[in-house]
Amino acid sequence: MAKISDIDAQDIFATAAELAEAAREATLQHFRSEGLTADNKEAARFDPVTVADRLSETRMREILARRRPADGILGEEFGPVAGTSGLTWVLDPIDGTRGYLSGTPTWGVLISLRDAAGVVYGLIDQPYIRERFEGGLGRAEVNGPMGRRTLRTRAARPLSEAILFSTFPEVGSAEEGAAFRRVASQAKLVRYGTDCYAYALIAAGQIDLVIEAGLQAYDVQAPIAVIEAAGGVVTDWQGNPCLNGGRVLAAANRAVHAEALALLNG
């Protein structure tokens, strides 16, 4: 089993940067291109996957096979790879494929590294605006059009002064939607549709809360690392760890987290 003290942070940073650069190139190759289409992965709802999703993940897997062959891989589009190091890279080649298809710049690439205990490092990258958020292994920073700066979540404020995000207005089931609306009705401002970028905004100190349901491990592990490194809190709707996804409550601080958690649970 790998220990955090045994992890070469500089090699992890360098590997993650190479992965993110490869994913940028692969995704921008097809972004806003004429004739871009998507296959639907589910029968009950539109869950798209594009050639760019598959190309992005393929390029990242090739890099990991070369740079860190002992590590495991869990990705959205292809089967898991068992490793021997005790470390696993968790990849979402395009988080927000619906947004990607629509031409919006709020989709992103999610890259994280976890051990048996949890996620130790995460990266949220937005290729089109060239903005990258990193957290873990002693790092909490964003690098983009406005330069490089330290990530820090917002200070505590009442829910009545908070900004809340979620990707879909319906959130999940009818029960989950009702729970979300209890929180939303008390927030100052509610916005929708930014996928992983909303989590980056928590880490950057711009918003207070993200509440979602029905997520997968590759949707949440990078945001968990980035937000926690910046001083925030990410749990499920009962206040427990949410490494495998499901219902997620991400908050800028423990005070607003507690207020939202109470309302989610009625």
Question: What contacts 24+ positions apart, CB below 8 Å, involve 30-34?
Answer: 30/55, 31/100, 31/103, 31/127, 31/128, 32/103
Is the pTM for the entire model greater than 0.75? Answer: yes
- Residue appearing with tokens 């598959």: 54
**Of the given ranges (36-50, 57-71, 89-103, 237-251), which has the lowest mean pLDDT?**
36-50
Whether pLDDT at 3 is above 90: no
Confidence of residue 5 (pLDDT cuts 50, 70, 90): low
Domains of the chain and any CATH numbers: 4-150 (3.30.540.10), 159-264 (3.40.190.80)
pLDDT reported for residue 4: 63
Instruction: State the DSSP string of 155-211.
Output: PP--GGG-EEEES-TT-SSHHHHHHHHHHHTTSSEEEE--THHHHHHHHTTS-SEEE
Q: What is the pLDDT of residue 46?
A: 76
Contact (Cβ atoms closer than 8 angstroms) between residue 86 and residue 75: no
Q: What strand order describes the sheet that includes 72-75? A: 72-75, 88-95, 108-114, 119-126, 131-136, 139-144, 147-150
Is the pLDDT score of 168 beyond 60? Answer: yes
